Structure 1
Amino acid sequence: MNYEERDSYGIYKVKTGTPSGPDTSHGPGPHLMGAETLIGNDVFNKAAEDIGDIKEIMIDMRTGRVSYAVLSFGGFMGFGEKLFAVPWEALTLDTTNKRFELDVNKERLEHAPGFDKNKWPDMADAKWEAGIHAYYGTTPSRPPASL
């Protein structure tokens, strides 16, 4: 599912006569988007492989910035599903295909630090944060707390 299909407020309204894409003259998208419309969006890699979907968006309440998108990958109908906190900076919005893109192949994602839906990590922990950013090759948007 994509953000246009979840848009209950008309944020990403398509301009009449335009084949695709939001009418940026009448709303904030795609440069400013509602978090609720992004939950459930598909995530593909650069090889156009479906690698999951966004289950949650984590906001750093100290800075007001989005820190992570929590993706699900694997499993069947929620069973055996693994969750991954992916730094927001690692994701790119693909407005043509109305999905997110993450530059990681499936094999690398299968070995990425993940967690079970019933056992979330302490995402405020500086060591955990440094490890996640190192894995995805990103830099935190704020200096990490002292290690």
Structure 2
Amino acid sequence: MNYQEQDSYGMYTEIKDGGPGPQLMGAHTLHGNDVRNRRGEDLGDIKEIMLDMHSGKVAYAVLSYGGFLGMGDKLFAVPWSALKLDTVKKCFVLDVEKDRLGNAPGFDKDHWPDMADKAWAQDINHYYGQTPHAPLKEHTS
């Protein structure tokens, strides 16, 4: 599925003089978007978009990979900066090989990591070769 198929408001039509286009997009239209690597191999789809509430920026996309019909999927938090939108193929591109993604730090739907933890964020960004968008604030409870 791609963002144009989920566009209930007609924002992403090919007309250049109307709508926000691919430079400014509604988060709900990105859920379910396909993610592929540079070879065109399917790496899964976006299940969630995580916002850093202190900076107002997108921190991660949660990618679902593997499994069948939603069963046995492994989830991965991928730094937003590691994803590039391919407006021709209407998908996101993540520059990672399938086996590297399969070995990435992941989690299941019932056991999410503490994504606000600075050490966790540093490890994830390092794994995907990214620089964190901004330091997350200290986690307090």
Tell me the matched-pair count.
139
> Match for 1:131: what amino acid?
D
Match among 17, 37, 60 for residue 29 of structure 2: 37
Q: Which amino acid aligns with 2:68?
A: F
Which residue number corresponds to residue 27 of structure 1? 19
**What residue identity is the alignment partner of 1:120?**
W
- For 2:33 and 2:9, locate their aligned partners in 1 and report how far apart those are by CA, in whole Å: 17
| TM-score, scaled to structure 2 | 0.95
Unaligned runs of 5+ in 1: 14-21
Q: Which of 133, 136, 147 is the equivalent residue of 2:128?
A: 136
Which amino acid in 2 is paired with 1:108?
R
Structure 2 match to 1:81: 73
Query: Whole-Å Cα distance in 2 between the matches of residues 44 and 63 of structure 1?
Result: 28
Q: Which runs of 5+ in 2 are unaligned?
A: none
Aligned-residue Cα RMSD (Å) equals 1.2
- Check conservation: 1:58, 1:69, Cα contact below 8 A: yes
Letter in 2 for 1:11: M
Task: Determine the structure 1 residue equivalent to 2:104.
Answer: 112
Q: CA deviation at 1:29?
A: 1.1
Q: Matched residues in 2 for 1:23 and 1:84: separation?
A: 34
Give runs of ≥4 in structure 1 deviating > 6 Å. Answer: none
Identity over aligned pairs, percent = 63
The corresponding residue for 2:8 is: 8
